[in-house]
Structure 1
Amino acid sequence: MKKLILIRHGKSSWELNVRDHDRVLLERGINDAHLIGNHLKNSFKNPDQIWSSTAARALQTATIVSEYIDYNLDSFQLKRELYTFDSYELIDHIKTCSNEINTLMIFSHNHGLTDSANILGSQYFDNIPTTGVVIIEFNTDSWSQIKKGQTIAYLFPKNLR
């Protein structure tokens, strides 16, 4: 059994004159990351592995959430491949995960994240909001073999406020 935790980065600013990759979280994004992290701490088993996009907003979100879930940052991985907006690229990269990992948490970007959740999960989402979480279980022991799984939970900050 494999479990995938997809998390969209927190709310970021378009107002700063920086590259898209360098955009940072707004105060709301920071607050929502704390809210989600605190909820995950009390509700779910910690992941075996965390991967984050190298974009500043995704890394900030991952750092905040990981503080709450008591994750050993020695095995935290930054992955440029997760700085994608394409679901097929995202899914292809997920399928490269080591089979020793049973629960994988990923911090990435839309539209690839929402589309991936819809392709892989059993529940449809029009849009996963910033700092939104979707958790999908797969009845397989091999990440390379994941197909349609069961959406077992989702968390959106507006539902936790």
Structure 2
Amino acid sequence: MMRKILITYMTKTNTTKEVGEAIAKILTENNLTVDLLPMSDVTNMDMYDGIIVGGPINGMRWVPEATSFIKENQQVLSQKKTALYFVAYLLHDGRKIWKKAIKSSLNASKKLINTSKTGMFGGKIEDIFPGIARFMFGVKKNAPLETIKWDNVRRWGEELADYFGSN
């Protein structure tokens, strides 16, 4: 029997969706059936063997829509194989205080559904940070507009294929 996986996401700039698409491609290559849906379109998760929930970090926290989704669906998510992924531009660069806040948000969400399967990936910004923002967040002047390490996404997707493909 082919396993069916839901990847659901909330996105503001399409970056979280792009990461979800990359993960969906890897899972499909590994003979899993995948639906990729925005959180707002998810009405029933009973038909899925596994669920992946993704969202961006905004204001050093997982977006409220993602946290609400986890809380509202805590019972269902706790009964299935579940994974979470986070997209944060400041994941690789930035001051330790911001990284600590991001990881704290991640840990709080993981505890709600008791999952150890989490992916944290860089993100994208549209324009370079102005000088004061670069200083405040600890971003280098020549920092790239995209910090996603796609090899990390691929590795995590392959790890998930094993996780969801096993009994």
TM over 0.5: no
- Which band: TM-score by shorter chain? 0.3 to 0.5
Structure with larger Rg: 2
Q: TM-score, normalised by structure 2?
A: 0.32
> Higher relative CO (CA 8 A, sep ≥ 6), structure 1 or 2?
1
Higher helix share: 2
